[in-house]
A and B are shown apart, each in its own frame.
Chain A
Amino acid sequence: MSVALKFVYAYIATIGFAVLFQVPKKTLLRSGFAGAIGWSVFNLINQEFDSVVVATFLAAMVLAMIGERFARTEKQPFTVFIIPGIVPLVPGVALYNTMIAILEENYNLAAEVGSEAILIALAISGGLTIVLSVNAYLRKKRMALAGRRAVKIQEKRNKLDKSRELDPEELQKEIEKTKLEEYYKEQFFDDDAQDSANKEEEK
């Protein structure tokens, strides 16, 4: 089966999982894209190096990066993009094989396949965790930067208008405000979309 065809199948499958987890309608296509890329990375690396665990690990990392990117551009919680995308990577096949092995009382095989299932789960969580931790650090840094930016703007204003004295309370408020703006940047709907949604509801 060609890579392109697999990409399309993964795209459709991820959209299906996204509907199951009730992601907002307008992000469905992007969720599907993230999932399809994740699966393609998994597929290519698995074919090349024949290691499911390593392939899953790298696919989870790529998926998390794409999810973060979309979360920032779309102003949505990034769970919306990551959760549907990881489902095709989840060790469903390995879990099933473990269960069958236990049913057949073949405990050696069960231990073998079961530990593979656990390793795959760890690979997913490891890949996601690394990217998410780095991103959390960067976000903190961005918030601090935003605060410093607010201070600079305030200082500039004071220079222009010398009659005004530096009001520490006002400055603090300004810092909080810019930090808040930065904080909410990647988590929420943008206003226009929300307003149009409200209008539709009213109709």
Chain B
Amino acid sequence: MEKKALEELRESIRKEVKDAMKSEHALATDQKDILILAIYAAEIMVRNGSETYRVEDTIMRICKSEGLDFVEALVTPTGILVSIDQSHSSQHHMLTFNKRIQHRMINLEKVSEVNDFSRRFVVKEMSVEEGMKRLREIDKKKTPYQISTQALFAGIASGFFILLVGANLAEFVSALLSTIIMTYVLGTLIQREFSYFFAHLTGGMIAASLAILAANIHPDIRMNVVIIGAIMVMVPGVAITNGLRDTVAGDLMSGIIRGVEAIVIAVSIAFGVGFVLNVWNMVQGF
């Protein structure tokens, strides 16, 4: 009996100490630091192609876990806006921060990692400083696949896709090679932060030029099939899917932004391919 009472006493002391430490911690960490951390996590997610509701959710969870009970987040693919406040505190002011996002790419691994980070942070496995450090690590981490690997796999994907729609072996090989070259150039352009329109325009032009070249080398190769294989790699499937998911979740602004992004990509591909084909038809006409 005595042992049990002692254990209970210990438990209560432990709890008191923990609570005291917690409140001290809440006072010691600046509201601003938490806001910066939440914004940074959100920025990495948006830049790597996460859906909007997931980003807003992450911001809310990070801020609320640190005792900020008023959090409003507005996330779009082109910018983040967050306001925070504490209801029982007169010494802090309401803070709002606005982060503009210029370039987006798709790196689903980084999205997964920030998700994992937020889970660890929310259950207080790390302090705000450690959290900042971890986020910087994730942000600077290199992509799991180099551009050359990506290009190789894009070639394989395009080759096997046109086999599915009934291509022959010669077309398979030419689609493989032309897509590898096209994806390498496209990836490099996007990495150097050229605009989407310019990058996909160039990609479309390269795809069409190489397909014309291949069709003239071997009589079995149909130009259309090779071009279709190459543009399947560029088609904005991700933008369409994420845009629709955002729209359905009620984030209409994000949905529209992503939809417009998809249209811009589709139009620029068509522009590039169409331009080269038109020029080729004119050259043949002479």
Q: Which residues of A approach B to under 8 Å, CB–CB?
A: 1, 6, 9-10, 12-17, 19-25, 39, 76-77, 79-80, 82-83, 86-88, 90, 92-93, 95-96, 99-100, 102-103, 121, 124-125, 128-129, 132-133, 180, 184, 187-189, 194
Cβ-defined contact, A96 with B231, below 8 A: yes
Q: Which residues of B approach A to under 8 Å, CB–CB?
A: 50-51, 54, 106-109, 111-112, 115-116, 119, 122-123, 143-145, 149-150, 153-158, 160-161, 163-166, 183, 224, 227-228, 231-233, 235, 237-238, 240-242, 244-245, 248, 266, 270, 273-274, 277-278
Cα separation A194 to B183 with both chains bound (whole Å)? 31
Cβ-defined contact, B144 with A82, below 8 A: no
Q: Point out the residues of chain B lying under 8 angstroms from A87, CB to CB.
A: 157, 232, 235, 237
Cβ-defined contact, B144 with A25, below 8 A: yes
In chain A, what residue has the closest Cβ to B240? A121
In chain B, what residue has the closest Cβ to A21? B106
- Of the A-B pairs whose beta carbons lie under 8 Å apart in the complex, a sample of 14, sorted by A's number, is A16-B160, A19-B150, A19-B154, A20-B150, A22-B144, A76-B112, A77-B54, A79-B108, A83-B106, A87-B235, A90-B237, A96-B224, A128-B241, A129-B244
Extra contacts, 7 of them, besides A12-B156, A16-B157, A129-B245 (Cβ < 8 A), are A9-B160, A17-B154, A23-B108, A83-B237, A87-B237, A96-B227, A100-B277
Q: Point out the residues of chain B lying under 8 angstroms from A13, CB to CB.
A: 156-158, 160-161, 164
* Given A22-B143, A194-B116; A39-B240 close (CB under 8 Å): no
Cβ-defined contact, A99 with B112, below 8 A: no
Cα separation A25 to B153 with both chains bound (whole Å)? 13
Cα separation A19 to B146 with both chains bound (whole Å)? 10
Shortest Cβ distance from residue B204 to the other chain A in the assembled complex, whole angstroms: 10
* Given A22-B109, A23-B109; A128-B244 close (CB under 8 Å): yes
Shortest Cβ distance from residue B220 to the other chain A in the assembled complex, whole angstroms: 17
Cβ-defined contact, B235 with A90, below 8 A: yes
Cβ-defined contact, A92 with B235, below 8 A: yes
* Given A9-B164, A10-B164, A12-B156; A20-B228 close (CB under 8 Å): no
Cβ-defined contact, B163 with A90, below 8 A: no
In chain A, what residue has the closest Cβ to B277? A103
Cβ-defined contact, A187 with B115, below 8 A: yes
Cβ-defined contact, A15 with B238, below 8 A: no
Q: Point out the residues of chain A lying under 8 angstroms from B228, CB to CB.
A: 92-93, 96
Cα separation A15 to B157 with both chains bound (whole Å)? 7
A10, A16, A39, A189: the one contacting B112 at CB < 8 Å is A189
Cβ-defined contact, B158 with A188, below 8 A: no
Q: Point out the residues of chain A lying under 8 angstroms from B143, CB to CB.
A: 22
Q: Point out the residues of chain A lying under 8 angstroms from B50, CB to CB.
A: 77
Cβ-defined contact, B241 with A21, below 8 A: no
